[in-house]
Structure 1
Amino acid sequence: MLRTLTRFVLDGMPLVRQRCSCLWRGRIALLVGVGIVGGILNTPLGWAQPSDRPHIVLVMADDQGWGETGYNGHPLLKTPHLDAMANHGLRLDRFYAGAPVCSPTRAAVLTGRTNDRTGVESHGYALRRQEITVSKLLRDAGYVTGHFGKWHLNGLRGPGVPILDSDSHHPGKFGFDHWLSVTNFFDRDPLLSRRGKFEDFEGDSSEIVVDEAIDFIARQSRAGLASFTVIWFGTPHSPFKAVAEDMVDFQDLDESSMNHYGELVAMDRSIGTLRLGLRELGIAEDTLLWYCSDNGGLPKIKPDTTGGLRGNKGKIFEGGLRVPAIIEWPAVITQSRITETPACVMDIAATLLDITGVAHPAPDRPADGISLLPLIQGDDRPRRQPIGFRFGRASAMNFGDGIKLVSEDGDPAHLQMYDLKADPYETTDLSGQHAEELAKRTKVWSDWMQSVDDSFAGKDYPERKVDPSEPEPRWWDETDLYQTFLPQFRERWEYQSWLKRKKR
Structure 2
Amino acid sequence: MFSFINNMRLKTPAQTLLTLCVLLLVPNAFAEQRPNIILIVADDLNWDDLGAYGNTGVKTPNLDKLAKNGMRFDNAFLTASSCSPSRASMITGRYPHNTDAEQLHWPLPKEQLTVSQTLRDAGYWTAAAGKWHLGEDTKQRFDEVRESKYGIDEPSGSAQWVPLLEVRPKEKPFFLWLASWDSHRPFYQGEYPHSHSQEDVRLPPYYPATELYMNDFAAYYDEISRLDEHVGKVVSTLERQGVKGNTLIIFVADNGRPFARDKTTLYDSGVKTPFIAHWPDGIAKGSISDSIISSIDLAPTFTALAKADTPTSFEGRSLVSLFKNPSASFHDYAVSERNWHDFEDHGRSVRTKRYRYIRNNYNDLPATPSADTVYHKTWWELTRLFEQGALTEHQARPFLAPRPKEELYDLLNDPFELTNLATDENYLSVLRHHSDILDKWILASGDFIPSFRTPDDFDRVKGASAPHRKRPRPSKMQMYQASGSY
**TM-score after normalising by structure 1:** 0.66
From 159, 165, 168, give the equivalent of 1:208. 159
Q: Given the superposition, is the C-alpha separation of residues 215 and 473 from structure 1 closer, same or farther in structure 2, using an over 3 Å criterion?
A: farther
Cα shift readout 1:416-465 (whole Å, capped 9, x = no counterpart): 333334433323444432434433432221121234445999xxxxxxxx
Decide which moves more: 415-424 or 225-234: 415-424
Aligned to 1:394: 347
**CA positional deviation for 1:89:** 0.6
Q: Distance in 2 between matches of 1:286 and 1:56?
A: 9
Check if 1:419 corresponds to 2:370.
Answer: no
Contact 2:129 2:158 in 1 (8 A): no
Give the CA RMSD over aligned residues.
Answer: 3.1
Q: Distance in 1 between matches of 2:33 and 2:419?
A: 45
Q: Distance in 2 between matches of 1:145 and 1:226?
A: 9
Q: Which has the higher contact order (CA 8 A, sep 6+)?
A: 1
Q: Distance in 1 between matches of 2:419 and 2:255?
A: 23
Check if 1:151 corresponds to 2:132.
Answer: yes
Q: Distance in 2 between matches of 1:214 and 1:456?
A: 43
Cα shift readout 1:173-206 (whole Å, capped 9, x = no counterpart): xx11100014xx625xx43xxxxxxxxxxx6534
Contact 1:118 1:456 in 2 (8 A): no
Q: Secondary structure of 2:129's match?
A: strand
Check if 1:283 corresponds to 2:243.
Answer: yes
Q: Secondary structure of 2:409's match?
A: strand
Q: Distance in 1 between matches of 2:165 and 2:465?
A: 34
Q: Given the superposition, is the C-alpha separation of residues 231 and 416 from structure 1 closer, same or farther in structure 2, using an over 3 Å criterion?
A: same
Aligned to 1:314: 264
Aligned to 1:354: 304
From 229, 241, 245, give the equivalent of 1:269. 229
In the alignment, structure 2 segments of 5+ residues that lack a partner are: 1-30, 200-210, 340-345, 364-403, 458-463, 470-486
Q: Distance in 2 between matches of 1:430 and 1:369?
A: 30
Cα shift readout 1:246-266 (whole Å, capped 9, x = no counterpart): 353338875654543322222
Contact 2:291 2:331 in 1 (8 A): no
From 404, 423, 439, give the equivalent of 2:356. 404
Check if 1:345 corresponds to 2:295.
Answer: yes
Q: Distance in 2 between matches of 1:386 and 1:259?
A: 34
Check if 1:378 corresponds to 2:325.
Answer: yes
Q: Distance in 1 between matches of 2:45 and 2:456?
A: 26
Check if 1:297 corresponds to 2:257.
Answer: yes
From 101, 104, 110, give the equivalent of 1:123. 104
Aligned to 1:433: 426
Q: Distance in 1 between matches of 2:362 and 2:67?
A: 36
**CA positional deviation for 1:410:** 6.5
Q: Given the superposition, is the C-alpha separation of residues 443 and 261 from structure 1 closer, same or farther in structure 2, using an over 3 Å criterion?
A: closer
Q: Secondary structure of 2:53's match?
A: coil
From 95, 110, 122, give the equivalent of 2:76. 95
Contact 1:54 1:286 in 2 (8 A): yes
Contact 1:207 1:266 in 2 (8 A): no
Q: Given the superposition, is the C-alpha separation of residues 405 and 284 from structure 1 closer, same or farther in structure 2, using an over 3 Å criterion?
A: same
Aligned to 2:178: 231
**TM-score after normalising by structure 2:** 0.69
Aligned to 1:12: none
Aligned to 2:208: none
Which one-letter code corresponds to 1:354 in the other structure? A
In the alignment, structure 1 segments of 5+ residues that lack a partner are: 1-49, 155-166, 192-202, 301-310, 458-471, 476-497
Q: Secondary structure of 2:426's match?
A: coil
Contact 2:59 2:194 in 1 (8 A): no
Contact 1:123 1:152 in 2 (8 A): no
Contact 2:288 2:326 in 1 (8 A): no
Q: Given the superposition, is the C-alpha separation of residues 122 and 501 from structure 1 closer, same or farther in structure 2, using an over 3 Å criterion?
A: closer
Q: Distance in 1 between matches of 2:223 and 2:198?
A: 14
Q: Distance in 2 between matches of 1:441 and 1:239?
A: 37
Q: Given the superposition, is the C-alpha separation of residues 98 and 440 from structure 1 closer, same or farther in structure 2, using an over 3 Å criterion?
A: closer
For the pair shown, the structure with the greater C-alpha radius of gyration is 2
